[in-house]
Amino acid sequence: MQQDFYSGLPKRMSIALDKLFTSKNWDYSDPEFRRKKHVIHAVQSDYVRLPVDATEAQIFQCADYMIKQVYAYAAKYQVDSLVVDGVCMLCRQMGIPGPQGTDYKEQIARAVDRAWWIRSLRKEHARRFEHVAIQLGFTSYKAGVYISNESAIRQRKRNQENAALLAKTELQNENGQVYTLEELSALGTSNKAIRRGELMTRIRGFEEIAKDLKHVGMFWTITCPSKFHAVLSKSGDSNPAYQGASPREAQAYLCKVWARIRAALKRNNIHPYGFRIAEPHHDGCPHWHMLLFVAPEQAPEMEKIIRKHALAEDGMEKGAAENRVKLVEIEAGKGSAAGYIAKYVAKNIDGEHVGDHKTNEGWVVVPDMLGNEEITPSQRVTFWSQLHGIRQFQQIGGAPVTVWRELRRVKYDAVLHAPENIKLAWAAVQRNGDSLASYADFTNAIGGVSSGRRYTVRIASRDVEIAGKYATYTDKRPCGVYSLGNPNAIYESTRYQWTRVDKKGGGVAFDLPWTGVNNCTEKKQATGADTEIFIKELKEKVENVRSGKVKIQCHGKSLEEFVKNWRNRE
- Helical ranges in 328-430 per DSSP H: 337-347, 377-388, 401-407, 420-429
The pLDDT, as a whole number, for residue 555 is: 42
- Strand pairing report for 497-501 and 507-511: antiparallel
How many Å apart are CA 165 and CA 267, to the nearest integer? 50
* Amino acid identity, position 38: H
d(CA 91, CA 48): 11
pLDDT of residue 556: 42
Which has the closest alpha carbon to 36: 239, 332, 233, 251?
Answer: 239
Give the whole-angstrom CA distance, residue 162 versus residue 409. 27
User: How confident is the model at residue 1, as a pLDDT?
Assistant: 45
Say what the pLDDT of residue 11 is.
82
- Residues 554 and 570: their CA atoms lie apart, in Å, by 20
Residue 41: closest CA among 88, 2, 91: 2
3-class DSSP state for residue 203? helix
CA 205 to mean position of chain CA atoms: 26
pLDDT attached to residue 563: 44
> Inter-axis angle of helices 104-111 and 114-135, to 10 degrees?
70
Distances (CA, A) of 85 to 76, 98, 101, 104: 12, 9, 13, 10
Integer Cα distance of 465 and 474 in angstroms: 4
**How many CA atoms does the CB half-sphere of 45 hold within 13 Å?**
6
Q: Quick one: 325 exposed, middle or buried, by C-beta within 10 A (0-12, 13-18, 19+)?
A: buried
3-state secondary structure of 490: strand
Q: Which amino acid is at 377?
A: P
Please state the length of the chain.
570
Active site amino acids: 340, 344
| pLDDT, one tens digit for every residue, the chain (570 residues) | 445 566 678 888 888 888 877 777 777 778 888 888 899 889 988 889 999 999 999 999 999 999 999 999 999 888 899 999 999 999 999 999 999 998 999 999 999 999 999 999 999 999 999 999 999 999 998 888 999 999 999 999 999 999 999 999 999 988 888 999 898 888 888 889 889 999 999 999 999 999 999 999 999 999 999 999 999 877 778 899 999 999 999 999 999 999 999 999 999 999 999 999 999 999 999 999 999 999 999 999 999 999 999 999 999 999 899 899 999 888 765 667 888 888 889 888 887 777 667 666 666 777 776 777 788 899 999 999 999 999 999 999 999 999 999 999 999 999 999 999 999 999 999 976 666 899 999 999 999 998 777 899 999 999 988 888 888 888 899 999 999 989 999 999 998 888 888 765 555 444 443 333 333 333 344 455 555 665 666 666 656 655 655 554 444 444 445 445 544 543
Listed residue (279, 296, 334, 310) closest to 218, CA to CA: 296
- 221 close to 340: Cβ distance less than 8 angstroms: no
| Angstrom distance (rounded) from CA 335 to CA 333 | 6
User: pTM here?
Assistant: 0.85
Phi, psi of 357 (to 5 degrees): -90, 105
Of 50, 447, 81, 390, nearest to 246 by C-alpha is 390
Q: Which of 350, 269, 264 is nearest to 312 (CA)?
A: 264
- Sign (positive/negative) of CA torsion 374, 379, 384, 389? negative
CB-based contact 276:288 (threshold 8 Å): yes
Per the CB < 8 A criterion, the answer to whether 126 and 154 are in contact is yes
Q: What is the pLDDT of residue 373?
A: 79
| Amino acid 235: pLDDT | 74
